[in-house]
Amino acid sequence: MRGRCLCGRIKCEVDEPVQSCVNCHCGSCRRQFSAPMATFIGVSDKQWRWTTGAPKVFHSSPGAERTFCGNCGTPLPFRSEKMSGVMHFIVAALDE
């Protein structure tokens, strides 16, 4: 699978299989997306890579980091210490 931000400066590839698909309703996700929920797929760190550019990182709460494009602001993957070794990609940012 391929994904990108709105302006295309940050691109990634994600290899299957997907470990999980989650709809999150936490306050951080609701605020980041200005929506009632966000949908993520979780994959191991060995299953994905940046192919163009690199995102900025925001530490949104203890043990959690959210990435985003520094140019257009598109939210990108999320990582939590509670789920180490897994990156959670936003389904809406994926092409497929």
- Domain borders along the chain are 2-93
**How many residues are present in the chain?**
96
Mean pLDDT for all residues in the chain? 94
| pLDDT grade for 56, boundaries at 50, 70 and 90 | very high
- Cα–Cα distance, 74 to 68 (Å, whole number): 5
Architecture of domain 2-93: Beta Complex (2.170)
Would you state the pLDDT for residue 96?
82
Would the pLDDT of 84 be above 90?
no
| pLDDT grade for 83, boundaries at 50, 70 and 90 | confident
Would you state the pLDDT for residue 92?
93
